[in-house]
């Protein structure tokens, strides 16, 4: 790929975002169709657990066979990728990438405040993502699974998790605000 081609891919005119109400309606229709067609909602943390189980199974199958959590996903002759959530996960990745590409938002950048370095921002983002993913598995679902799917089915546990996530975010924001201002 030449430098000129690379510049034309990443430096396209940026298009306006979809109106939030329209986006919400489209997301609601997609969630309804997911429930209607598959019997499952939306989410992605289950797919990352299955990807992790596949990696562990490739390295140490005996560990997977002796671990009850991993056993139900990849134990014996089970294929950890044989679940509805895996295509949803990769579809969301591909959809986000495609949306960024077609709307002129596909670029390499680090969004941060003036009082934090790029390296610290990347480290904190990675650590936060790992902690959040671990918490999502403990809570039996990520924010999309809990808020969208659980909230749509009026699950009390999902509403409690989402209130805890928002409360935790607001409480943490007070202490890290100086990094962003």
* pLDDT on residue 90: 92
Q: SS in 3 state form for the chain? A: CCHHHHHHHHCCCCCCCCCHHHHHHHHHHHHHHHHHHHCCCCCCHHHHHHHHHHHHHHHCHHHHHCCHHHHHHHCCCCCCCCCCHHHHHHHHHHHHHHHHHHCCCCCCCCCCCCCCCHHHHHHHHHHHHHHHHHHHHHCCCCHHHHHHHHHHCCCHHHHHHHHHHHHHHHHHHHHHHHHHC
So what's the pLDDT on residue 161?
84
Q: Which residues of the chain have pLDDT under 70?
A: 1-10, 181
Per the prediction, the chain carries an average pLDDT of: 86
pTM of the predicted protein model: 0.74
Q: Dump pLDDT digits (tens) for 59-77.
A: 999 999 999 988 888 888 8
Per cent of the chain over pLDDT 70 is 94
Domain ranges of the chain: 1-109, 110-181
């Amino acid at each position: 790929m030449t430098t000129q081609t690379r510049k034309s891919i990443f430096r396209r005119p940026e298009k306006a975002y979809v109106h939030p109400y329209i986006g919400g309606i489209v997301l609601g229709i997609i969630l309804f169709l997911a429930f209607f067609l598959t019997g499952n909602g939306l989410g992605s943390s289950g797919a990352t657990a299955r990807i992790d189980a596949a990696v562990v199974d490739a390295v140490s199958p005996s560990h997977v066979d002796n671990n009850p959590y991993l056993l139900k996903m990849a134990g014996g002759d089970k294929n950890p990728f044989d679940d509805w959530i895996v295509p949803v996960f990769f579809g969301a990745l591909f959809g986000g990438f495609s949306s960024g590409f077609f709307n002129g938002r596909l670029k390499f950048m680090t969004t941060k405040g003036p009082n934090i370095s790029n390296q610290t921002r990347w480290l904190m983002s990675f650590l936060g993502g790992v902690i959040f993913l671990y918490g999502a598995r403990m809570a039996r679902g990520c924010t999309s699974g809990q808020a969208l799917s659980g909230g749509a089915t009026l699950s009390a546990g999902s509403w409690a998790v989402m209130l805890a996530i928002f409360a935790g975010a607001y409480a943490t924001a007070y202490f890290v605000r100086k990094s962003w201002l």
